[in-house]
Structure 1
C-alpha cells in the first residue's frame, strides 16, 4: 500500500482530488467565494422552503441543534448549537438536548438594540411554526411524521382561520429550562437525530423577528449562523457576509484514518476560526453556457455541477483538461445522493387514479421514456439510470437492483396501452382515453435551454407511443407553487437526500405529506403503513425487507418515474481551498477558504 503522500499525488493526477497547496498567509484583502445557482431561490424562511437552492441559503443563515462532520465518511453527527449529543430514553421516544450557552442571534432592529441569546424556547417556537396552518408549510408532513406529542392536535385547533396559539403548551415540545429542550414522541424514532441535524429546516428563529416583520419575515432571515444576508435581488443576486457576531467556532473534523484527502484537509485547516471567507456572492444563471463562461473567465471562482454540455471540455476522458490544470483548477467528481423523476398528479382525472387503466397509462409512459438516450444526449453521460427511488450513498441503496423503473421498452408500453383501452379509435394517429374521449397530456416544464432539449426528447418518445403531449412552460417558483397546490398534470423534479437513512426518499410517497414532499399526491394505505413501520423499527433485516416492499409498490403504482442519479463534477479555481462535496447537508461555505483578493483602491 502506498503512503498518504502517494495517494494524494495519485488523486491530484487524476483530477479527482484537489492538489492541496501550501497554506496562504492572511492579508487585509477580502476572501470571497463566487458562484452561480442554476435555479432561482424561492424564500428564506426555513418553515416555507422546499427547494434545494433556498435550503442552501437558509442552511448558512440558521442553525439546527446538530450538524454533520464535514470530512467524516461514513457520516458522523456533531453538536452545533447543542452542548453534546442528545440524551435518549423511553425506547427512543424522549430526546433531551442541552444547548450551549453564549450563542447569539445576528443583530437586528427586532431586538431593540439588545444582544439576543439563543435559548431552548427558540427551538420550541421554531418547530411550532411548522404546525401553524396559516404558514402552509410544505414541510409540515415531514415534521408530523415524527409524531411529536400534542403538536398535530395544536394544529387542528387552529384550523378554519383561527390563530395558532404559540403560548399554549405542547406535551411533546418543551423547554425544561433556559438551555434544555425536551422532545417527546408518540412512537420510537431511533434515527430522530437526523431530524435534529437538518439545520436548513430546523434552524432556530427568534419570535421577536417574526412578530416584528410579520408577512415580511422571509425577507429578513435572522439566525445564529455564520453568515448574514447582505444583499438580495430576487432571482438575480444574493450576497451573504460573515456574521460579525458569530461565536468562536473552530475547524474540527474526524476523517477516517485511510482518507488521504480528508486527513490533508484536517492538517491544513484544523483550529482555523469559522467562517474562513468574508463573503459569498451568488448569481442566478439558469443557462449553461453563461454559467460555464463565468467560471472560465474568473468571474466565478467555483462552479457546482459543471453543465453537461461542457463536462467533456473540463474532464476529457475523465481527466482534468490540461488548460484547466495549468491554471490551478481543481476537480471533484462523485455520484450524487439524488434522483431525478417525472411525477404524475394522482388527483388528475387523466394521469391520476388507481384503477388498472390509469396505472397502465403511467407505467406505459415510464417504459416509453428513453432515459439512456436522455443521459447520453442531454446529460453527456453524467448520470446513471435509476431503478428505484432510493438514492446513492444512503443506507439501503442497492446499485445492483434491476426493476421496471429502469427499463426502456416501448413495445411493452404500447401493449399495455392497447390492453387497457388507450387506443386510437378514429385513426388520426393519436390514442384516445378508454371512454373514447380525446387524450392530451400536459407536462409542465421550465423555460430554459436544458428543459427545451428534454422536451424534444420526451415529445419524440411519447409520439412513438401515440400519445399527444403539450408542454406548459414557466419559471421554477411558479411551477413549484402549482405543484404544491395540485394544479398540474405532469412535472419533473429532483430529490436530494438530506440524511443518510434511505427512508427520506420515501417521503414523496407518504400520504401524510401530500402538498409537501409528496408532490404526486399519492395515497395508498399499504404504503403509509410501511412508511410508519420504517420510522419505528431499528436498523436490521426486518427493516430492509420493508424497504424492498416499498420499492416494489413504487414501481407497481408508478406515481413517479424515477429516471436517473446524477454524476456531478465540481470545479474550483486555485484560490479556493478546502472544498469537499457534502453527502447530505447543504452548509459548507464556512468550511472553505479563498485566497484574499487585492484590496480595492
Structure 2
C-alpha cells in the first residue's frame, strides 16, 4: 500500500507542477509541438493491445495499416493507407488483392542492421496478421479475423498445439510477391476493409518483435508519421513524447472534405505535406480538474469540458455557444456527437446475476439514466435504448426500451426474481475507475439500486486494473463505454457474440444461440434493409436478456485553443494528429493572455 500511495503522491505533484509552471515559462514561437491530454493511462504500444481508446490513440500515430479513413469526409470514407490504391475484390467477394506501396520503410531502430529501418513488404502483413491470431500472444483483437480468413483459425489451433510455425502457409493469407498481398475469405465479410483500418491491423516488423520480446510493447517500431525515439521518452502513467519520423512515406493534407469544411477553414492547408508537428506530447491525467486547469493555461491544445466546468464554459442562454470570456481568448467550442454507448455490464458467468434474468431486468428498471445524463453530462447526450448509437444504420429513434427507468416496475420485477425488497440477495460488487467522476457515477448507481433494496459495494480501480478484472472474468458488475471502431452496427453487436467472450470484446460473456444465429446470418449480408431488419431482432434479444443496462449516447463538447488549425474530431479515426497544425506565433501571442 505504501508504494502505491507514493506513486499517487508523485503523480499528483507532477500534475500540480505542470499547472503551476505552464503559464510562467516562455513560449517558443517556433515550437510546433502538439500537446494532447489522455484521460487514462496507456497500457502498451503494441497493435495487439490496441483494445482501448487511450492506447489506440498513441499507437495510431506510430503504426499504420493497409487502409485508413479520409480525414474530413462524412460519412466516413476509407482510402488507401499502406495499400497502393484500394483493393481489388473478386466477383464472389471472397478474394481481395492488395498492392503494397513501394519505398515505405519501418522507422529506424536498433532492431535492424546499422539501425536503419528496412523497406516494407507484403510478407510483413502476413506475419503481423498471423501474430494477431497466434493464441500464445493472447490479443483481444483476434475477433477481427476469427473465422473469416481461409485456413487462419486452423493455423492458430495448430500453433496452440505446437504443430505449426509462422512459416506454415495459410491459404487465405499469402504474399504472392514483395508488393502483393492476397486475402481469401471463408465467406463474404463486409466489414473486412473497416477492420483493416483498425490499429489491431497495424503492421509490425518481425525483427523488432524478435529483438524486444515481451518488451516490444514498450519499444514500438512502425511505419507511421511519429515515433518513440527512445524508451526514456515514455514515463509510465505520466507522459509519452513522440517525434516526427524522418523516414515516413509522406502524405498531403486532403483537398476535399464534407459540406461546410471549406467555410470552417479546414481546407486551407490542402495539398501541404504532413505531418505539421515536429513532436507530439501525450500527458496522462486521469482527473478532470488538472486537465481543465492545464487547458486554461494553454498547456493542451484542446480538451473536453468536464461536468463541473460546463456551466462556466458555455453561454447561459445558449449552451451551444462558448462563454464570451473564453472566446475573447481565442478559444472555440466544438460539438460532435459521439458514436458510442455507455453501459453497465453484468458478468453473465456470475452465479447470481448470470442465471437470473428478472434480477438483471429489475436493476435496469431501477437505473435512472435521465437524471444520470443531467447530473453527470449536463444534458449532453441522449438515453440509450439499446447498444446501437444514432448515426449508425438500424438505429431507431422511436424505439423505447421496455426496461427503461420505472421504479415501481423495478420493485415488482425484483420480487419476481425471488428477492422482494432485496431480501435474500447478497451484496453485489460494482467495478469502476478510481477518478472522481467515475466514483461519483458509481455512487449514483449504488443509490439507484438501494432504492429497490439491492445492496452494491464499489471497487475502484486504475484503468489497467479495471481492464484486467473484466478480461479475466473477475468483475461482477462494471461501468464502461464502447466507442465505434467503424461505422457499422455489427461493431456493437459483436460485443454480444458468444465466440467473442472475454478476453475478446464480449466482456459480459453473453451467450444466446438465437442471437448467435442472427449475428452470423447478418455477416453474410451486404449493407441494406435486409441486414438492418436482422439487427433489429438482435437488438430486441439483448434488450430482453439484459446483459447490459443501457445508459447514454454521449455528445462531446471540446474547447480548442485559438492556435490550433485543422481540428475535426472523430470517434472512429485515431490517426488524426498528422493533420493537425499548431501556429506557434499565435500560440505565443494567445498564451500570454491566459
Q: Which residue of 2 aligns with 1:399?
A: 397
Query: Matches of 1:468 and 1:296 in 2, distance apart?
Result: 41
Q: Is 1:543 aligned with 2:506?
A: no
Query: Matches of 2:335 and 2:173 in 1, distance apart?
Result: 42
| 3-state DSSP of counterpart to 1:481 | helix
Aligned with residue 421 of structure 1, among 401, 418, 421: 418
Gaps of 5+ in 2: 1-27, 589-594
Matches within 5 A, 1:395-544: 395-405=393-403, 407-423=404-420, 430-433=422-425, 439-515=426-502, 516-544=504-532
| 3-state DSSP of counterpart to 1:134 | helix
Shift of 1:28: 8.2
Shift of 1:263: 5.9
Query: Matches of 2:398 and 2:312 in 1, distance apart?
Result: 31
Query: Matches of 1:521 and 1:90 in 2, distance apart?
Result: 37
Q: Which residue of 2 aligns with 1:58?
A: 59
Gaps of 5+ in 1: 1-26, 425-429, 434-438
Distance 1:164 1:211, change over 3 A: farther
Q: Which residue of 1 aligns with 2:306?
A: 307
Query: Matches of 1:166 and 1:74 in 2, distance apart?
Result: 38
Shift of 1:395: 2.2
Tell me if the contact between 1:575 and 1:594 (Cα under 8 Å) persists in the aligned partners: yes
Tell me if the contact between 1:48 and 1:136 (Cα under 8 Å) persists in the aligned partners: no
Q: Which residue of 2 aligns with 1:328?
A: 330
Q: Which residue of 1 aligns with 2:214?
A: 215
Distance 1:498 1:268, change over 3 A: same
Shift of 1:159: 2.2
Matches within 5 A, 1:178-189: 178-189=178-189
- After the TM superposition, list the runs of 4 or more consecutive aligned residues in structure 1 that deviate by more than 6 angstroms: none
Tell me if the contact between 1:417 and 1:423 (Cα under 8 Å) persists in the aligned partners: yes
Shift of 1:506: 0.9
Q: Which residue of 1 aligns with 2:273?
A: 273
Query: Matches of 1:155 and 1:536 in 2, distance apart?
Result: 23
Tell me if the contact between 1:33 and 1:302 (Cα under 8 Å) persists in the aligned partners: no
What does the per-residue CA deviation read over 1:385-419, in whole Å, with 9 as the maximum and x for residues that have no partner?
Answer: 101101232222223322225x2111111101112
Query: Matches of 2:262 and 2:205 in 1, distance apart?
Result: 36
Tell me if the contact between 2:67 and 2:83 (Cα under 8 Å) persists in the aligned partners: yes
Aligned with residue 389 of structure 1, among 387, 390, 393: 387
Tell me if the contact between 2:433 and 2:460 (Cα under 8 Å) persists in the aligned partners: yes
Q: Which segment is superposed worse, 132-141 or 207-216?
A: 132-141
Q: Which segment is superposed worse, 527-536 or 262-271?
A: 262-271
Shift of 1:151: 0.7
| TM-score, scaled to structure 1 | 0.89
Matches within 5 A, 1:1-400: 29-113=30-114, 114-145=116-147, 147-159=148-160, 162=162, 165-198=165-198, 200-230=199-229, 231-256=233-258, 259-262=259-262, 264-265=264-265, 267-303=267-303, 305-316=304-315, 317-318=318-319, 319-353=321-355, 358-400=356-398
Tell me if the contact between 1:70 and 1:253 (Cα under 8 Å) persists in the aligned partners: no
Shift of 1:44: 1.1
Shift of 1:233: 1.1
Tell me if the contact between 1:330 and 1:571 (Cα under 8 Å) persists in the aligned partners: yes
Distance 1:464 1:28, change over 3 A: closer
Q: Is 1:564 aligned with 2:543?
A: no
Distance 1:537 1:226, change over 3 A: same
- Aligned pairs, how many? 552
Tell me if the contact between 2:105 and 2:118 (Cα under 8 Å) persists in the aligned partners: yes
Tell me if the contact between 1:341 and 1:560 (Cα under 8 Å) persists in the aligned partners: yes
Query: Matches of 1:529 and 1:483 in 2, distance apart?
Result: 25
Q: Which segment is superposed worse, 55-64 or 29-38?
A: 29-38
Query: Matches of 2:446 and 2:191 in 1, distance apart?
Result: 43
Q: Which residue of 2 aligns with 1:18?
A: none
| 3-state DSSP of counterpart to 2:506 | coil
Shift of 1:423: 2.6
Tell me if the contact between 1:142 and 1:517 (Cα under 8 Å) persists in the aligned partners: no
| TM-score, scaled to structure 2 | 0.90
Q: Which residue of 2 aligns with 1:591?
A: 579
Shift of 1:477: 0.5
What does the per-residue CA deviation read over 1:344-390, in whole Å, with 9 as the maximum and x for residues that have no partner?
Answer: 1111101113xxxx001111111101111111112221221101101
Q: Which residue of 1 aligns with 2:7?
A: none
Query: Matches of 1:448 and 1:506 in 2, distance apart?
Result: 29
Q: Which residue of 1 aligns with 2:13?
A: none
Tell me if the contact between 1:71 and 1:253 (Cα under 8 Å) persists in the aligned partners: no
Query: Matches of 2:395 and 2:568 in 1, distance apart?
Result: 22
Query: Matches of 1:466 and 1:266 in 2, distance apart?
Result: 54
Aligned alpha-carbon RMSD (Å): 1.7
Tell me if the contact between 1:396 and 1:501 (Cα under 8 Å) persists in the aligned partners: no
